[in-house]
Each structure stands twice: as C-alpha cells, then as structure tokens.
Amino acid sequence: MSIILFLLVLFVLVLVHEWGHFIVAKKTGMRVDEFGIGFPPKLYGIKKGETEYTLNALPLGGFVKIWGENYEDVAGADAEVDKSRGFSSRPKWAQALVLVAGISMNILFAWFLFSLTYMIGAPTAVDESLATDKAELIVAGVLPDSPGVALPAGAVVTSIAYGDKSITKPTPTEFSKAVVAIAPEPIIVSYTVGENSGGNATLIPVKGLIKEDLDRYAVGVSLAMFETVKMPFFTAITEGFNSTWYGFKQISLGLVSMISGQADLSQVAGPVGIVGMVGEAASFGITALLTFTAIISLNLAVVNLLPFPALDGGRLVFVLIETVTKKQIPPEWAGRVNLVGFAILMLLMIAVTYSDITKLL
C-alpha cells in the first residue's frame, strides 16, 4: 500500500511540475511535442493537436518535450516549419519563464495543500491549560539511548499506570509528576499509532538524562498536547502561506548545509526511504499525508532551483549566459553538459537508494 501511495504522490507532484512547464510554453507560443509522465519506454500515448500525451514505464519522474530545446531541432527544420515557435527561438524572458514555471507550480501546490490541511483541521500544539477534552498527548520526540525509545515518535499517549494509580489522557505535567513519583520503579504507557496500531511500553526512569538536573529521574521523551483545529478560509490561506515560506527556507538552509558538508548525510532519504515515510504519514490520517506531500513538493522546488546541469536551475544559467553574452551556447556542448549532469544525478540517486536499502537490513 505504501508503494502505491508513493507512486500516486509522485505522479501528482510530477504532473503539477510538468504542467507548469507545459502551460507556460503553450502560452508563450512554443511548440510542445510531448507531455510525458514517467520515463521511457512508452507504455501508452494519445495525440491531441500537436502534442502527444504519454504514460511511460519508469514512474520516477516526467518531462515536457518542447521543440527546439536543443537548438539543433530548429537549425535542421524544413523551410515550411515555423521556426519561431522553437524554445531557442523565443525571447529569453519566455525561456526563463518556462523554466521557472515548474518550480513555481510546486511551491503554489504546497501552499494549496497546507491551506487545505488547515481548513480540514490540522493537529495544532496547544498549552495544556487551554486544551479541551479533544486534545491528545503526543510523543513529540525521543532521546536516543533512553528508556523512551520504547515509544514511537508521533504516538498518542492514551493512559499511564504507575504503582496502584492510573491516569487516562494525561497531560505533560501529569506524566512528568508520575515519572518522578514512581522512580526508579517502572511506569506503563499505553499508546496508539495511527488508527490501527498501538501497544504498551514499560519505561524505567533513570538519572542523568536532564543536563540541568542530573539527579532528576526521567524517561527521555518530549511530550506535547495537540488538538485538531479547523481554520476559516482566509486564516487557512494565510497560515498556509506562512508554512510554505517557512518550509521553503528550512529546506533551502538544509540543502546549503548538506552541500557545505555540515549536515548529516545519513538522514537523506531516496525513493525507498520516502516510500516508508509516505506510508507512515498516511497512517496518521489524510492531513498528515497532505502535509507530507506539501513538504515533498517544496523539496522538488528547492532542488530544481540548483544551478546544476539537467535541472531547471542549470538550464536557467544557460539562458542567463546567453542573455549576457548575446551568443548562443553551442548545442553540442550544452547537450554534453546536460548529459554529464543527468548521469551524476542518476549516480546520486543510486547511492541514496543503496543507503535506504542498507538502513532496512
């Protein structure tokens, strides 16, 4: 099921991205020969007007084939063909607009998903003094090598039992007091994960986990009260924009850290890792899945902005160079650079996929 959800999410995100390229290319007078989902070999195709719409065998991407992108198409065209409709023949502003359209659509789509999530009702952190009976205690984080590792992050704590006492739907304060009261004896935590799973975890409090108070007993979990809050339309749109902007900044900073060697590359996930994440997000409900899809959409936008060959950002660099120099980059060199860039991207994809698989073993 996780694989099907992953392919569905990928399909939608690629469709949104490539539709951006497609519609702007059409609106700026370019000839679009093919709109493809997935990479060849082709499984199915239907032609409407001058454009063929295809479904391809490798469901890991997509493309829009705009006539004249490699310059050679236009140069070798028959005299009867309208060469002015080639990508390379259109004004530089039109070329740049087409290239940024896919990125822009991913950002706009993320904004739409975040806003929709807030309108449907998103789990929102609330102060326990303001929480209603609908609020839930969530495991927000777990300290490595602590008793808390028995609790999965994101789990909902339904009750706790210690000694001869038990509390249903405890607050963070009640949980902390219970740990201190029973230590060093165990506290039993009942929890649920998603809609269909859960269990009990026996946590034995230990000292030394809290740096500010090494003699205090703790179990190494971070807890927060969450409540589903539905927002009015305009409030949801505003909060959706704020979430989109925040997410875009954080992903960009993370990418800069990764490139500079300051980030933990072991945390980078490829297709195999994302399959598991999609399934995990779906287990927490539709809003979690929509939020995760929005984050992936922003990731695609940020990555495509990189000035790297074969990415939209790299092709924008070519357009900028031609604009400044007022000279056309030789098609053979542009093709070679893009081919090398694509090969490097594929090698990186293989390396990340291998890392994903080793984590599962």
Residues annotated as part of the active site: 18
3-state DSSP helix/strand/coil % of the chain, to nearest 5: 50, 20, 25
**Sequence letter at residue 26:** K
Residues 6+ apart with CB under 8 A from 25: 32, 64, 66, 87, 98, 101
Return the residue matching tokens 């939608």.
Answer: 12
Distance from CA of residue 15 to its chain's centroid? 15
Distance, CA of 10 to CA of 18 (rounded, Å): 12
Q: Rounded to an integer, what distance in angstroms lies between the CA atom of residue 335 and that of residue 128? A: 59
| The residue to which tokens 């991205």 are assigned | 17
Give the CA distances from residue 128 to residues 116, 118, 151, 210, 255, in Å, rounded to whole numbers and listed in that order: 26, 21, 21, 22, 35
Phi, psi of 79 (to 5 degrees): -65, -25
Cβ atoms of 271 and 353 closer than 8 Å: yes
d(CA 139, CA 35): 44
**Residue/partner pairs of 254-259 with CB below 8 Å, 24 or more apart:** 255/302, 255/303, 255/306
Helix (H, G, I), strand (E, B) or coil at 51: strand
Write out the H or E segment, with its range, that includes residue 128. none
Q: Are 89 and 68 in contact (CB under 8 A)?
A: yes
Distance (Å, whole) CA 265 – CA 21: 31
β-sheet bridge partners, residue 228: 123
